[in-house]
Amino acid sequence: MITTKKGYLSTIPVDRYPKKDIMGDKTVRVRADLHHIIKIETAKNGGNVKEVMEIRLRSKLKSVLIVHYLKILYNRN
């Protein structure tokens, strides 16, 4: 018998449990986090979801482009 995280007993060995799709879990988690951020920012902004999403997307793209630009500069030297 094996004890699970919640303290229940299990007769199934751990290696026989179905494997989870790790990337799927991460994708769902990230989407949930972004959705939560957008809801909070929308409430602060007065309810304009499109504007909040546009601002968040613009700031994310800007940060990604800066990182890639710095990588290119670093690799040249």
Please give the pLDDT value at position 24. 52
Is 48 among the domain residues? yes
Question: What is the C-alpha separation between 35 and 48, in angstroms, rounded?
Answer: 14
Is 11 among the domain residues? no
Please give the pLDDT value at position 19. 56
Low-confidence ranges of the chain (pLDDT < 70): 1-30, 45, 77
CB–CB of 29/18 below 8 Å? Answer: no
Alpha-carbon distances of 56 from 42, 45, 60, rounded to whole Å: 11, 13, 6
Is 53 among the domain residues? yes
Q: Which residues are 9's β-sheet partners?
A: 3
Q: Which domain holds residue 55?
A: 19-76
Is 34 among the domain residues? yes
Is 7 among the domain residues? no
Is 72 among the domain residues? yes
Is 56 among the domain residues? yes
Question: What is the C-alpha separation between 59 and 68, in angstroms, rounded?
Answer: 14
Q: Residue 55: CA atoms inside 13 Å, Cβ hemisphere, count?
A: 10
* Whole-model pTM over 0.75: no
Is 23 among the domain residues? yes
Question: What is the C-alpha separation between 57 and 52, in angstroms, rounded?
Answer: 9
| Structural domains of the chain, count | 1
Please give the pLDDT value at position 1. 45
